[in-house]
Amino acid sequence: MKNMEVLPLDPKSGTSIKRDVHNIVIDADAGEVARAFNDVMIDTSRHFGLIKLQRMRANEGKPFSVGERFQGQYTLTLAKDEWPKFWRNVFEDLYENDKIQVVICEIQNSMLSDYGELTLLELDPKPGEPYRMQYRYLGHSSPKSGSPIAGSSMFVVTPIVDMKELNALGVSKASRLTQIFEYQEQTEFFTYFFSAGGLKLHNQVVYSQAKQAAELIGAKIIDSDIPKEYQQGL
C-alpha cells in the first residue's frame, strides 16, 4: 500500500467515468454528524456492510490525518452469513485451518479490497463552509493491481436551515450528508461486477457508515435517496 499511486480518472479509456451521488438526512447538527462520521471511520472494530476498514498499525486508534493510507476489505467471514447453510458450514470447517486462513487473507487483500489515501479532511471549517472528507483510490496501473477502481469518494455534511424543509421532515434541526462517488473501473470484469451488483454493495456501505455515525450521537436517519432495498444486509 505504501508504494501504490493515486489512480487518476482517464477520459481516454474505453471505460466511462461515472458519478454516483446520494443524500442522507440525519436529525442532528452538522458538526456532530461530521465528527461522528469521522469517529466511526477510524474505529477498526466496526464493519460497514461487508467491508472492514484496515489502518496501518502505526495509525491504529489515532485521529485521521491528510495523507493517511488505508484499506477497505471485503471480508469473507462477514459475507458467509448470507450464504446457504451448507456452504456456510463448509467455509467454517475450512477456516479452522491456519493455512486456509492465510489463503483467504491473500484473496481478500489482492482481489476483494480497495485502497485509499485521505486527501481532504475539514472537521473545523470556516463559518458557512461545509464539513468535508475525501479519499482517492490507490493501486498500480501496470500491471493493474490494488483498487479495482480509479477516482474518489467525497463526503460533505451541511446543515439544513430552511424551516419549510425542517417542518416537512418533522424536526427542529437536521443535516445532510452527501456522498459523491466518482469512479472508473480498471478491468472488464470489475465493470461487469459493478453494474451487476457492486454499486449496490457500495451504497450499502455508505448507508451503514451514516447509520452508525447517527447512532453514535443518539440521532437517526430520517430521509435518504438510497433505495430502501439497498439499506438492508448491514
The tens digit of pLDDT for each residue in 14-54 reads 999 999 999 999 999 999 999 999 999 999 889 887 788 88
Do the Cβ atoms of 131 and 177 come closer than 8 Å?
no
- CA distances (Å), origin 114, targets 35, 145, 222: 24, 10, 30
Instruction: Go through the domains of the chain in sequence order and give each one's CATH number.
Output: 5-75+112-231 (3.30.530.20)
**Distance between CA atoms of 109 and 78, rounded to whole angstroms?**
15
Q: Which tens digits make up the pLDDT trace of 175-203?
A: 999 999 999 998 888 888 788 777 888 89
Do the Cβ atoms of 113 and 74 come closer than 8 Å?
yes
DSSP string across 140-172:
EETTEEE-SEEEEEEEEEEE---HHHHHHHT-S
Give the pTM. Answer: 0.84
Q: What is the pLDDT along the chain (234 residues), one digit of tens a residue?
A: 778 999 999 999 999 999 999 999 999 999 999 999 999 999 988 988 778 888 999 998 899 999 999 988 776 555 556 555 654 554 455 556 665 555 555 554 445 578 999 999 999 999 999 999 999 999 987 767 788 899 999 999 999 999 999 999 999 999 999 999 999 998 888 888 788 777 888 898 899 999 999 999 999 999 999 998 888 655
C-alpha cell at 197: 451488483
3-state secondary structure of 17: coil
**Distance between CA atoms of 75 and 101, rounded to whole angstroms?**
12
Do the Cβ atoms of 77 and 51 come closer than 8 Å?
no
Residue with cell 451503514: 208
C-alpha cell at 115: 485502497
